[in-house]
Structures are given as structure tokens and as C-alpha cells.
Amino acid sequence: MLDKQTEKLVLHAQKNEITEYHIYKKLAKSTKDPHNQKILNQIAEDELKHYSFWNQYTQREVSPSRKKWFYYFIARIFGLTFGIRLMELGEGQAQVFYTTITKLIPEAQSIIEDEEAHEKELISLIDEELLDYIGSVVLGLNDALVELTGALAGLTLAFQNAQLIALAGLITGIAASLSMAASEYLATKEEQTTKNPLKAAIYTGIAYVATVFFLILPYLIFSNQSPLVCLAITLINAILIVLVFTFYISVAKDLSFKKRFSEIVGISLGVASLTFIIGLVVRSVLNIDI
């Protein structure tokens, strides 16, 4: 017999399990890939098993929570692996609960093992094209951040004209994206891999162009402001791009967020600072005023 406080905690866990069962089932129905369908159905059955386990202690049926359906739409928009891992990250408090409840219900240890090992193993087996080509996306994004933040910093000191800087940055960015996409195509073609060289090139090119667009946007929107103000906003944009993308990668690939974020930001801002100084030196030495 559970006391009221423990019963409340168990009912909360029970609600989580039945909610996730329905989310996994719906995701399985919405995907056309048989391999992913099988894995999602397996995870769903695990969640239902956990629900039944708690049900034998509460002897009460619990309806799914509407709040967690947010993760279903995240998974549909940003990919199964990202949506599912994000949902599982939200269960940090559940681990504290499991640690407490095993003192009262030792059999709950089996659920902890399922959550920590079996389900994570199944999630890692989900096959998604975006994650297969994530290396190509990282290549395009990182290269654009490092090259263009540096180029824009140098151009800002050299030209002192926001519209001219935006034009030069756009031409430089598009040319560099085509070059990078071509390089990725040739590199992938030479590798012993199942990746399609054309798809790898497209992912690299799109990531590069998208990054270029966000970096030069301040120079177009705030063209009547000082180019230094535009540069400052561009650097903030660069940090935000890294923040969002690193968060996505760290969740989807189960990697360290802090390490990757600090590394990419450090390199991008370091190159931008160095190029800014070079632009200042060139402007002073050549005595060019545009």
C-alpha cells in the first residue's frame, strides 16, 4: 500500500509512460520507413509495459498528458531522433524519482535499466537521412561561419559602407558555397561510404548559403547605421547560429554541448578578430578610403 505522496509520484510517472506510449505509436504510424516503424513500436511497447507495472501499484487508469504532445510535433518538424531525445532529456526529474522509489519498490530497478539502456539503444538505431549527412551540414556551416565572419570583419574596416560590404559578402559567400559544395562532392565520391556525393554536396551548399544569408542580413537591414554596428549584430547572429545548431547536434547525436559550442564560437570570433585587425592594417598602410 502506497502512502499519498508516493502514490502521487507514481501516478505522475504512470501518466508519463502512457503519454509517451501514444506519442511513439503515433510517430510509428506517421513514418513510412519500415525500419523506423519497427523501432518506434518497440519503444512504445516498452512504455506500455512500464505503465502496466505502475498500474499494479496504483490500481488506477491514467489518461495521457496533452502537454507532452509538443514533442510529437518537434519530432515531425526537426526529425525523429532530435524530438525523441529531447523528450527523453525532459525525464531528468524522473531519474530522481526512480532512485527514490526503488527503496520502496525494488522491482522498479528494471524500469531504470530499460530507460537508461534499452530505449537509448533503440533510439540510436533510428535511421534518418539528415543525421547521415550531418557531417556535410557541419562542414558547410562551420566553414561559412569562420570564413564569412572573418571576411565581413575585414570588409567592414576596409569599405566602411554597409551596402557595399553586404554585396561583397554575398558574392564571396555564394562563390565559396559553390566551391565548398564541389569539394564535398569530390571528397565524398573518393570515400568508401554509402553516402550519396550529390546529396552531401547539396547539404553542404545549403548550410553554407543559409549561414551566409543570416550573417549579411544586418548589413542589409541596418544599412543606414554604422558598419561597426552591423558587424556587432553579425557576430551576435553567428553566436546564435552556433548556439541553435550545436544544441540540435548535441541532442540528436547525444554529444557534449559546452565543448562543441565553445570550440566553434572561439574559432569563429578568433578569425573575425584577426581579420578585423588585418583590415585595419591594410586600410592604414594603403591609405584607402572608400
Domain count, the chain: 2
DSSP letters along 192-228, please?
Answer: SSSS-HHHHHHHHHHHHHHHHHHHHHHHHHTTTS-HH
| 233 in the same domain as 209 | yes
Contact between 53 and 34 (Cβ < 8 Å)? no
| 79 in the same domain as 207 | no
| 167 in the same domain as 223 | yes
Phi, psi for 41 (deg, rounded to 5)? -65, -35
Reading the chain (290 residues) residue by residue, the pLDDT tens digits are 667 877 887 888 888 889 989 999 999 998 888 888 988 898 899 889 889 988 888 888 888 888 788 889 998 888 888 888 888 776 655 666 666 777 777 777 777 777 666 666 677 767 777 778 888 888 888 888 878 887 888 788 777 788 888 999 899 889 989 998 998 898 888 877 778 889 989 999 999 999 999 999 999 998 888 888 998 998 888 888 888 888 888 888 777 788 778 877 787 777 767 776 776 676 667 665 55
CATH number at residue 74: 1.20.1260
| 199 in the same domain as 71 | no
The three three-digit cell numbers of residue 72, written as one number: 510529437
DSSP letters along 145-173, please?
Answer: HHHHHHHHHHHHHHH--HHHHHHHHHHHH
Domain that holds residue 68: 4-127
| 246 in the same domain as 202 | yes
